[in-house]
């Protein structure tokens, strides 16, 4: 599954579309940025409610290519620009972290 394929899902809203398409190799769900930093795998997608620039910074440092903001949390105006600058895909969904994680699980593992 690639980021572009994820973007096409009907429950995904694309907030920033300027990113390098890449295979999604894993998913990490956490709202704790130190935890993401320490434990998320490279080339994964982050599911979180942290809708601010520090989430982008952590994603960039941890080698995460895409972020899904849950619960339709409002995205600050400067966040899409930061995501573009770091070539990170920024998505949003109305689902919560658990539902989003389940949907991602199905997409990735086909379960």
Taking phi over 0 as left and psi of -120 to 50 as alpha, with beta for the rest, 87 belongs to left
Report the residue number, 61 or 102, with the smaller CB distance to other proteins. 61
Q: Considering the rule CB under 8 A, would residue 69 count as an interface residue with other proteins?
A: no
When binding is defined by CB under 8 A, the residue of 11, 23, 32, 74 that contacts other proteins is 32
Residue 82 has a CB neighbour count (10 Å cut-off) of 19
Q: How far apart are CA 43 and CA 32, in angstroms?
A: 18
Of 42-50, 67-75, 87-95, 99-107, the segment contacting other proteins by CB under 8 A is 42-50
Q: How far apart are CA 35 and CA 66, in angstroms?
A: 17
Which residues would be at the binding site for other proteins (CB under 8 A)? Answer: 31-38, 42, 48, 50, 52-55, 57-58, 60-63, 86
């Amino acid at each position: 599954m690639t980021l572009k394929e994820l973007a096409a899902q009907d429950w995904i809203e694309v907030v920033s579309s300027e990113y390098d398409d890449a295979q999604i190799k894993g998913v990490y769900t956490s709202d704790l940025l130190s935890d993401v930093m320490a434990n998320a795998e490279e080339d994964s997608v982050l599911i979180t409610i942290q809708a601010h620039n520090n989430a982008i910074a952590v994603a960039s440092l941890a080698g995460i290519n895409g972020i899904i903001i849950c619960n339709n949390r409002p995205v600050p105006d400067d966040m899409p620009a930061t995501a573009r600058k770091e070539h990170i895909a920024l998505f949003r969904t109305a689902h919560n972290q658990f539902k989003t994680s389940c949907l991602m699980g199905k997409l990735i593992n086909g379960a």
